[in-house]
Structure 1
């Protein structure tokens, strides 16, 4: 399983457009080689280099397994087409909020896609990353990561 973006390559810098210094929209993502027995997907975007510890930028779950990616600029709404749900990030907002690190060394942004053996994680829209992690514990079939960098 893989997660890719046409906005940046794995290990490369995320363009400013997708950050708080730009228009802060989500980059287009592509999901490939999803395992056949996948019932749903979930996506977490986080910055492990934040001064306060791991900082969550995006939480998405109950993604049908036939979804092959997301277009650029996903709506910042709790409930999307096809029953896709978005949670609350550490900016205390629904949907994607991009990199916004303090000045200094580059931060790493992990786009983590997980394939699950359950169709619905049992959470309403607006869940936190920790609630999602607890709900999917024991249900992960596969995992893929895309890492982007950003510095201010």
Structure 2
């Protein structure tokens, strides 16, 4: 388009027109292609169970020892995944736990046609039905394990949905969550997350 504008400026007898014509040409191109450029929105994550910045409710808290909750995995929905997405994965990680942090949930193999998981998908059989596999969390349990930090300052829990470029990470049910995290990281096209907190 810059070359065409240069040619017009050289041959036009009206010296004041080239810049106007170039500007109008540029606007025409923008009008033509803008719908395609904006069609792909930002990959985003929402939840009816978790609300960004808020406290985890009892339904999602772990149910063992002195943590008395429903231990139901959260409802999650995501939108505008990157082009080329072949599958999805989900992780929940406590970044404030001592040491390397604490894995509460890791799921892989969610089909690209799925854009949400219902509450309690981990134990209701929903994930198995769609062909997904779950890691063994740091409670040494396959599937979801809710927040259960030691008494004191609330911990932050990072919920992340990953769009992956493959439908087969070759992960098996019950492998360690850290292994899931590694394999997910090698195939990630994009991710969306929200952060919640919980303390006792």
Question: How is 1:1-152 mapped onto 2 (pairs within 5 angstroms)?
Answer: 1-20=43-62, 21-76=68-123, 80-152=128-200
Q: Higher strand share goes to which structure? A: 1
Question: Cα offset for 1:130?
Answer: 2.0
Question: Cα offset for 1:19?
Answer: 0.1
Question: Cα offset for 1:138?
Answer: 3.2
Query: 1: distance between equivalents of 2:159 and 2:103?
Result: 10
Query: 1: distance between equivalents of 2:145 and 2:136?
Result: 10
**Cα distance change, pair 33–51 in 1 and its aligned pair in 2 (3 A):** same
Give TM-score scaled by structure 2 length: 0.71
- Per mean C-alpha deviation after superposition, the further-off stretch among 40-49 and 13-22 is 13-22
Give TM-score scaled by structure 1 length: 0.92
SS of structure 1 residue aligned to 2:72: coil
Query: 2: distance between equivalents of 1:92 and 1:123?
Result: 17
Question: Cα offset for 1:129?
Answer: 2.1
Q: Is this contact kept in 2: 1:34–1:65, CA < 8 A?
A: no
Give the unaligned 5+ runs of structure 2: 1-42, 63-67
Structure (1 or 2) with the larger CA radius of gyration: 2
Q: Higher helix share goes to which structure? A: 2
Offset from partner CA, 1:52-100 (integer Å, 9 cap, x none): 43100001001111111111112336x6012111110000101111000
Question: Cα offset for 1:132?
Answer: 1.7
Q: Could you say what the CA RMSD is over the residues aligned between the two structures, in angstroms?
A: 1.5
SS of structure 2 residue aligned to 1:141: strand
Question: Where does structure 1 differ by over 4 angstroms across 4 or more consecutive aligned residues?
Answer: none
